[in-house]
Structure 1
Amino acid sequence: MNRTARLYALVEELRAAAPRPATVAVLAKRFEVSSRTVQRDLQTLMETGVPVRVTPGRGGGWSIDPAMTLPPIHFTADEASALTAALATAGTSTPYADAARTAAQKIAASMTGPASAAARELAARIVALPARGDSQVRTAVEQALAHTSVLRLTYTDAAGHESDRAVEPAGLLTADGRWYLIAWCRTRRAGRGFRLDRITAAAPTGERSQPHNLAELLLGSAAAGAARPTALAALTTGP
């Protein structure tokens, strides 16, 4: 059993035992590996956000919340390859790149059979040059969008002019491989797009911002005809 399959199997083993904990020794015997290997695998699951926890002492061990884990996902080989290629584009300058990586690890742990093999084979044949981007800026933008808060940023425009702005984020626009923060600019008193790689500094103010309609802010701009990516339709329309 390869490590990816074992990680998924560990989750399923803990789910089956829940709410009772399982000891490392029992899990090591079950998967015919060393206790050190199981301990390392469990630590990996914890670091990637899987809700596993350890209870010390007599009668303790590792357990999991069965309501918060991925069920088996039955991807086709093409679907697994498509996800692998899409996640490969989540470079360091891409919004939510860190979350994308942990999501990829969870998805990989849930895949078995031809889909898992296809994803691993394609992943071995994709390389990328390091992307330029400030992770602090990206994190500040993510938090401002998540918490609907005013963001103070330093921005350098196409002509090289630098300015300080207080903006109220409305959403993100992706075009030609670049990402833009669409926001209400308090300085210009209008909707503006800020290319993420031109934001040299960003910091949350802690102030709640007013809600803004993304489509309305894009009216009259070159991005007025922007449409929601097809791949996101299922997330926004619901079941």
Structure 2
Amino acid sequence: MKRAERLHALSEMLRRSGTRGVSAERLAGAFEVSVRTIKRDLDALENSGAPVWSRPGPGGGYGLAAGGSLPPVTLSPAQAVALLAAVSAAPDAPYADQAAAAIHKILDVLDPATRARADELAHRVWVKALPASSRAIKSALDEAMADQRVVRIRYTSKDGTSTDRDVEPVLFAATNGQWYLVGWCRLRNAMRWFAVPRIERAGVTATACSGHTIEEVGEPPAQARPVHARAVQARTVQPRTVQARGPASR
């Protein structure tokens, strides 16, 4: 186990010990290192801002003060750039801007040397950025989904027909390298799949959604999962639905 990983695991073990605390000998045994190494790790945690306390004597040990916050997780330069690359390479994914902001918060608390190495490595990874108009549309769709409000879109179907529609967002889905907004179309009075690249305009209204559910879209196929249950391998949702007719074209 690398030291950064051990420090995080050590802080978690101290937190779980509560007011009882845990001895340096027990910590050393748990991590298969020397007591001297554990004490250096405890000093490093305390210097990073973790509220470590110690109680000397028989029955004493170490712990974290109640209500104290843990120090930020330490990333290697490669791990930091991997997060940046993953988000930057998928700018059309839902909440990509929020993910980028979260990653920059993590970068801001890295130690200066690691941050400098991450910045240098990041210059060796190039991606294509979305145009400003697409980012504005994505932002409106993200907001409508999060707040469960009706979004008004200008949509162009495959045959070139453009229509204005009020849509109640239900979920985002990716298939064949393209993102879709799946929602209840008030114009067609049915569930529809809207290819995000074919949405020309989008604006969030003040109207709350009426309560259409994911179950109305249908069950995803066996190889598809919601993002919270995804495995490490990249997977995409195939549009197999109960009431939806696939990507909207009319």
Same fold (TM over 0.5): yes
Aligned to 1:75: 75
Deviation at 1:207, TM superposition (A): 0.8
**Do residues 196 (structure 1) and 193 (structure 2) align?**
no
- Alpha-carbon distance in structure 2 between the residues aligned to 1:160 and 1:224: 30
- Asked whether the 8 Å contact 1:154–1:165 carries over to 2, the reply is yes
Q: Secondary structure at the match of 1:155?
A: strand
Aligned to 1:102: 101
- Asked whether the 8 Å contact 2:168–2:209 carries over to 1, the reply is yes
Please say which of residues 184-193 and 149-158 is displaced more in the overlay.
184-193
Q: Give the helix-richer structure, 1 or 2.
A: 1
Q: Secondary structure at the match of 2:83?
A: helix
Report the TM-score when normalising by structure 2: 0.55
Aligned to 1:88: 88
- Asked whether the 8 Å contact 1:84–1:119 carries over to 2, the reply is no
Distance 1:231 1:124, change over 3 A: farther
* Structure 1: runs of 5+ lacking an equivalent: 1-12, 17-66, 234-239
Structure with greater Cα Rg: 2
- Asked whether the 8 Å contact 1:218–1:224 carries over to 2, the reply is no
- Alpha-carbon distance in structure 2 between the residues aligned to 1:168 and 1:121: 43
Distance 1:229 1:118, change over 3 A: farther
- Alpha-carbon distance in structure 1 between the residues aligned to 2:102 and 2:185: 33
Deviation at 1:114, TM superposition (A): 7.9
- Alpha-carbon distance in structure 2 between the residues aligned to 1:123 and 1:101: 14
Deviation at 1:229, TM superposition (A): 3.2
Equivalent residue pairs, number: 168
Letter in 2 for 1:101: A
Deviation at 1:200, TM superposition (A): 0.8
Describe the superposition over 1:146-178 as per-residue Cα deviations: whole angstroms up to 9, x where unpaired.
211111111011221111211100121123332
- Asked whether the 8 Å contact 1:71–1:110 carries over to 2, the reply is no
Alignment of 1:137-176 (within 5 A): 137-176=137-176
Distance 1:75 1:136, change over 3 A: closer
- Asked whether the 8 Å contact 2:77–2:121 carries over to 1, the reply is no
**Do residues 111 (structure 1) and 122 (structure 2) align?**
no
Report the TM-score when normalising by structure 1: 0.57
Aligned to 2:6: none
Q: Secondary structure at the match of 1:80?
A: helix
